[in-house]
Structure 1
Amino acid sequence: MANNRDLWRLLRLFAPYRWWMLGGALLSLLTILANFGLMTLSGWFLASAALAGLGGWATLNQYNFFLPAAGVRAFATTRVLSRWLERIVTHEATFRLLSRLRVWFYTRIEPLAPAGLQGFRSGDLLSRLVADIDTLNNFYLRVFTPFLVAGLATLLMAGFFALYVWSIGLALFVLLALTGLLLPLLSERLGARSSAEITRIQAEMRTQIVDALQGMGEILTANAAGRVQEQLLQENAALLERQRRLAGVAGIGTAGMSFMANLTLWVILLLAIPLVARHSLPPAQLPMFALGTMAAFEAVLALPLAFQFLGQTRAAARRIFEIADQEPLFPDAPKPLPEPANFDIEIHDLHLRYPEAPEDALRSLDLQVRQGERIAILGATGAGKSSIANLLLRFYDYQAGSARLGGQELRDYPGDQLRQYFALLSQRSHLFHSTIRDNLLLAKGDAEEEELWAALRQAQLAEFVEGLPQGLDNIVGEGGVNLSGGQARRIAIARTVLKNSPILILDEPSEGLDALTEAKFLQDLRRLMQGRTVIYITHRLLGLEDMDRIYVMAEGRVQESGSYAELLARPDSLLHRFAQLGGTLIDS
């Protein structure tokens, strides 16, 4: 039962669409029953018509051909229509279920990001979000519906036979039940491990492929493409081996199903023929039982395959719920706070440690930023600069001390509300493989087109976008690959302009740009800073002269602070020494 707990959870999750699910299952049941009715009535009709013909003209003239013929047509028409409707309803139900599952899964993992997802590889997350959820597509069509329909159809068809001869009805029920349970259980036992391993290997291969694509430059530089390819080939060989095993199990199930269908037919005939011989059963009912028995096996035909899909579905559901069941590393505030009277930031004696990190990233941190003030946070890699951005955006929680915005503790704000007050522009500002328009609308989903152009003009990119063949609807490529570095950063600036938040965090925004592009980019940033609180995070001295105050950090704490001129004039200051060493890069 524990193995099926995830499947019961899926059923509860799909409860809003239960009528679609049941409607599709009932239409599938109606199709099977219509086929069963068609075959039983046809068998009886043909046999009774033949017997009437043997009885001579008198018997033949008294025989009613029209009523059973109408019944045959009715069953045939019902079978066609119900099959057509069943395809429509079950596929509509499947699409609705997949849509709900994807949205539900995203709403579960979104509060975990980024802290709660650090232990997962990006390729693995993608595999779970796309491939595993697609695998759960099998749950309704190939697991839930076949089991439900097989159970109901077996009871109804065996009950129909029992109305004529109870022993024949009982025999059909027992043999259908054995066929529908023992064979699928055998298939599931033989194929469960292979099914689970197929899901695992496919997920691992997707993860490896995504990692390889993301790190292709490093792989080629290290001349490691051959090793990566060999690893993928080994995984693929293992996958093919499991699929061959599963195909063999499917073959056993199909052969067993054919054997049981023929065995059941023989049993029914052995029970019915003596009754006909003793005149206890009308002769025309013998072919009715025979053809009905053959048609009855349509109900259990899909069960061996359903049990195989059951293993893959369980494995995929387990991987989905493994992430969805995780709780955020820190709780979110339950309700929004009133708009703060000001946007002053006050950090006092604060300690922040990342999960599983051996030591604090921020230690006894004291820092103040008044509304409208421009401050710079200067330090080497690992000094704790970006941890301040993670703190302010509530990507990670602090363990001790105080961090306030507008006099209110940061953790008292819901994350969504807090992040409305901040705009982040960094060297890693991501551009999605979509249009310029879509990338801008991330900042303000209801922005009018004129607002988009105004943001592009402020980012000095409007003329470039106007010259593109599709303008705002031009595709930027994955990570902005179709743009130059400066153009990609300017789209990020335009997105920041569009958000129009009162506090601007600049985290190494010009890193990686050539000197000429960087100079123009920083000039554009000066316009963006006007009228905003600015937190400029950098390990370089370039642009610090525009700041009201500079905090120099090392080992997670502030070592010194002051204006650019004050610190530069002090021979004992770290900034003065950095300037003496060239002023462009802080090593440590």
Structure 2
Amino acid sequence: MRALIRLAGLFRPFRGWMLGGLALSSLTILANFWLMTLSGWFLAAAAITGLAGYAAQNAFNFFSPAAGVRFFATLRVGSRYAERLVTHEATFRLLARLRVWFYATLEPLAPAALQGFRSSDLLSRLVADIDTLNLFYLRVYVPVLSAIIATLIMTGFFALFSVQAALILLAGLVVTGALTPYLTGRAGRAAGRDVVRETAALRGEYVDAVLGMGELLTYGAAPALLERAARGNTRLLAAQAHLAKISGAGMAASGLTTNFALLAVTLAAGGKVAAGHLGTADLPLLALGTAAAFEAVAPLPAAFQYLGQILEAAQRIFAIADLPPAVPPLASPAPVLEHFALVLDDVSLRYAPGMAQALRGISLTIPEGGRTGITGPTGAGKSTLINLLLRFHEYQTGHASFGGHDLRTYDSAAMARYVTIISQRSHLFHTTIRDNLLLADGAATEAQMWQALEVAQLAGFVRAQPRGLDTMVGETGARLSGGQARRVALARAVLRPTPWLILDEPTEGLDATTEQDFLRDLAPLLEGRTVLCITHRAAPLALMQQVYALNEGRLVA
């Protein structure tokens, strides 16, 4: 239950909306309860009066009960409508809060602390598990608390007529609203967790299938993946079927309890009427009130079934949130830089205890305004060097300084103010060219964006599109060629003129002609900047002033 307490803490900023939805839900239940009790009494009293004769009919007040019936009927409709508005507004606000909070939690963990997770698994947690957590308010919080509130008020109302009937009603509501949900929740907890796990696993398989379809077909691995997905789907259907059986049993038990409670209240009230302790019209009041009272606890068996899924989703979310970042956030502001030289002195880095060193005794000086190229085969440690500079990973031995200050006095957020990266993996989001450019500078004007595109030699292409800057680039830039996608990254670098520019395999995947055109347009952006170029291709190194080779984590001139 600790996970639910943490979840409630995340929802605290919206407790006004949450309590508003709870109050309206309780009011709706009580309005229906009083509508049924008053209607039962009014109909019976009117019938008895009609049989009593003309004098009794003249003495009976038809207008006040009729007005009460209309009032509670109108109140029920109005409160139900308002409850839907408020609870759904609260739900959307809570959903936004959870997603923003989780994304903000993920950001300092990337990439180092998240390397052990599949991207599809992270996506499933960000989307599906957050959606499941959002069920806590609608499916658990509101039904449980409103049932408690309504139960206390309704049994108190029954006690005004018959303590025995009130105790019977209370017993029936406790069985239906507490015992049955507890039993169904306990029986379905494991299946609920299986549903969350199997759903996440299936999403992972399907994402891998879509993203790796070419490789799967090339190497004939598609049938094996389909078989794994089929087995996962079978397990998911089995868990869902088990939950459906438990849900059906819970509904049957609730219906049986309701009928027994109605029979017992009728018998108890009938004895009171026969003894003259209750009026004849009070019997249908208590009977119809009993039937209406169980509306308060009807959602609770399903609510406790959802609890297993919610707990599993919460544990998956908090398991990520509780991961320590590889480089902790700074406790105090980073030093202000006066220059931008980088000095590494005998620096070594390993990604985890027991693993081999990714960098071994690296010594490197990159002066402000210098251009340094690093070449080497795949796995030599080139990307590790970038991760070190960007403070994604912590080094263990040696000394590193940036701008004359210890590199450990900066975290990734502080380094991001000084460094821009142009990479073969510069991500393009499935949105417009305008939105992809605004990632570099959210305050950039349209004129600045066009200027950046001119420098990147992409303005002509964009102007030729019917929607100009509002042209959609497709998923990961699928509607652009490889060269055009790199030029969008160039335009971003123009909009974000940081002192440092890192080129991470900037021409990988480009043919020789496109590569030369790209490097020609890149050259003006290097002026006045400190440049680190990581590549295993020769052409980009021609723009550098000094070049080093990196092999098995060791650096040589």
Q: TM-score range by the shorter chain?
A: over 0.9
CA distance in 2 between counterparts of 1:471 and 1:107 reads 32
1:452-483 per-position Cα deviation (integer Å, ceiling 9, x unaligned)? 11111111111011111211111111221111
Please give the alpha-carbon distance, in whole angstroms, between the structure 2 residues aligned to 1:218 and 1:543.
Answer: 29
Q: Which residue of 2 is the match for residue 81 of structure 1? A: 78
- Residues in 2 aligned to 1:385 and 1:242: alpha-carbon distance in whole angstroms: 46
Equivalent of 1:313, from 283, 290, 310? 310
1:527 is matched with which residue?
A: 524
1:549 corresponds in structure 2 to: 546
> Residue 291 of structure 1: SS of its match in structure 2?
helix
Give the unaligned 5+ runs of structure 1: 561-588
Q: Displacement of 1:337 after TM fit? A: 3.0
Partner AA of 1:323 in structure 2: I
With over 3 angstroms needed to count, the CA separation of the structure-2 counterparts of 1:178 and 1:546, relative to structure 1, is closer
Instruction: Please state if 1:475 is matched with 2:472.
Output: yes
Alignment of 1:99-248 (within 5 A): 99-248=96-245
- Equivalent residues in 2 for 1:333-482 (5 A)? 333-355=330-352, 358-482=355-479
Q: Is 1:497 aligned with 2:491?
A: no
Tell me the amino acid that sits aligned with residue 467 of structure 2: Q
Aligned residues between the structures: 557
SS at match of 1:299: coil
Q: Which amino acid aligns with 1:271?
A: A
Amino acid paired to 2:17: W
Shift, 1:270, TM fit: 1.3
Matched with 1:280 is 277
User: What residue identity is the alignment partner of 1:363?
Assistant: R
Partner of 1:265: 262
What letter is aligned with 2:276? H
Quick one: distance in 2 between partners of 1:340 and 1:275? 88
**Distance apart, 1:97 and its partner CA:** 0.6
1:568 aligned partner: none
Contact 2:125-2:317 at 8 Å conserved across structures:
yes
Q: Secondary structure at the match of 1:546?
A: coil
Q: How far apart are residue 137 of structure 1 and its match?
A: 2.0
1:515 alignment partner AA: A
CA spacing shift, 1:386–1:271, aligned 2, 3 Å: same
Q: What per-residue deviation string (whole Å, max 9, x for no partner) do you get for residues 127-184 of structure 1?
A: 0000000111211011111110111111110000101111111111122112211111
d(CA) in 1 for partners of 2:461 and 2:164? 84
Shift of 1:356: 5.1
Partner residue, 1:31: 28
Question: What letter corresponds to residue 309 of structure 1 in structure 2?
Answer: Y
DSSP-derived class of the 1:386 partner: helix
Residue type at the aligned position of 2:42: F
Question: Residues of 2 paired with 1:229 and 1:241: CA distance?
Answer: 18
Three-state SS of the structure 2 residue aligned to 1:49 is: helix
Query: Amino acid of the residue matched to residue 383 of structure 2?
Result: S
> CA 1:73/1:543 → structure 2, altered by over 3 Å: closer, same or farther?
closer
- Structure 1 residues 543 and 252 mapped into 2: Cα distance closer, same or farther (>3 Å)? closer
Q: Which amino acid aligns with 1:261?
A: T
Q: Are the equivalent residues in 1 in contact too, given 2:373–2:541 (CA < 8 A)?
A: yes
| SS, match of residue 265 in structure 2 | helix
SS at match of 2:160: helix
Partner of 1:16: 13
Q: Is the 8 A contact 1:333 1:415 kept in 2?
A: no
Change (3 A) 1:147 1:543: closer
Report if the CA contact (8 A) 2:335-2:405 is conserved: no
Is 1:255 equivalent to 2:252 in the alignment?
Answer: yes
Query: 1:583 matched to which residue of 2?
Result: none
Q: Distance in 2 between matches of 1:386 and 1:252?
A: 57
Q: Distance in 1 between matches of 2:225 and 2:477?
A: 26
Task: Report the Cα distance in structure 2 between the residues aligned to 1:450 and 1:55, rounded to whole angstroms.
Answer: 89
Report the Cα offset of residue 120 of structure 1: 0.5
Deviation of the 1:387 alpha carbon: 1.6
Partner residue in 2 for 1:575: none
Contact 1:333–1:411 (CA<8 Å) still a contact in 2?
no
Q: How many angstroms does 1:338 deviate by?
A: 4.3
Counterpart of 1:584 in structure 2 is: none
Distance in 2, matches of 1:230 and 1:549, equals 52
Stretch moving more, 431-440 or 109-118? 431-440
Q: How far off is 1:67 after superposition?
A: 0.7
In structure 2, what is the Cα distance between the partners aligned to 1:431 and 1:524? Answer: 20
- Supply the distance in 2 between the matched residues of 1:513 and 1:557 (Cα, whole angstroms): 28
- Distance, in Å, in 2 between the alignment partners of 1:248 and 1:407 is 68
Please report the TM-score for the alignment, with normalisation by the length of structure 1.
0.93
Aligned amino acid, residue 248 of structure 1: K
- The change in CA–CA distance for 1:444 and 1:117 in structure 2 (over 3 A counts) is same
Cα contact 1:205–1:235 (8 A) shared by 2: yes
Q: Output the CA distance in 1 between the equivalents of 2:296 and 2:370.
A: 74
**Do the aligned residues in 2 keep the contact of 1:39 with 1:295 (CA within 8 Å)?**
yes
Q: Which amino acid aligns with 1:242?
A: A
Cα distance in 2 between the residues matched to 1:531 and 1:169:
84
SS in 2 for 1:146: helix
The answer to whether residue 555 in structure 2 is matched with residue 558 in structure 1 is: yes
Deviations 1:236-279 (A, max 9, x none): 12211211111111111111111111100111011111111111
Whether the 8 Å contact between 1:334 and 1:414 is mirrored in structure 2 is no
**Greater mean deviation of Cα atoms: 542-551 or 436-445:** 542-551
Q: Which amino acid aligns with 1:412?
A: T
Superposition deviation, residue 411 in structure 1:
1.6
Q: Distance in 2 between matches of 1:246 and 1:543?
A: 60
**CA distance in 1 between partners of 2:354 and 2:91 (Å):** 43
Q: Which runs of 4+ in 1 moved over 4 A?
A: none
SS in 2 for 1:403: strand
SS at match of 2:29: helix
Give the match for residue 510 of structure 2: 513
What are the Cα deviations for residues 344-366 of structure 1, in whole angstroms up to 9, with x where unaligned? Answer: 11111111111256211111111
Counterpart residue type for residue 139 of structure 1: F
Say whether the 8 Å CA contact 2:335–2:409 is kept in structure 1.
Answer: no
- The superposition leaves residues 524-580 of structure 1 with CA deviations (integer Å, 9 ceiling, x where unpaired) of 1212211211111122332433322122222222222xxxxxxxxxxxxxxxxxxxx
The one-letter code sitting in structure 2 at the alignment partner of 1:526 is: A
Alignment-mate amino acid for residue 7 of structure 2: L
Amino acid at match of 1:542: A
For 2:381 and 2:57, how far apart are their aligned partners in 1? 99
1: distance between equivalents of 2:379 and 2:7?
A: 44
Letter paired with 1:165? S
Deviations 1:366-419 (A, max 9, x none): 111111111111222222222211111111111111111110112202422211
Deviation of 1:19 (Å): 1.3
Q: Match for residue 47 of structure 1? A: 44
Give the 3-state SS of the residue equivalent to 1:542 in structure 2. Answer: helix
Aligned to 1:572: none
Residue 512 of structure 2 aligns with an amino acid whose one-letter code is: A
Distance in 2 of aligned mates of 1:497 and 1:389: 21
Q: Deviation string for 1:311-343 (max 9, x for gaps)? A: 111111111111011111221222333431111
Quote the Cα distance in structure 1 between the aligned partners of 2:339 and 2:148.
66
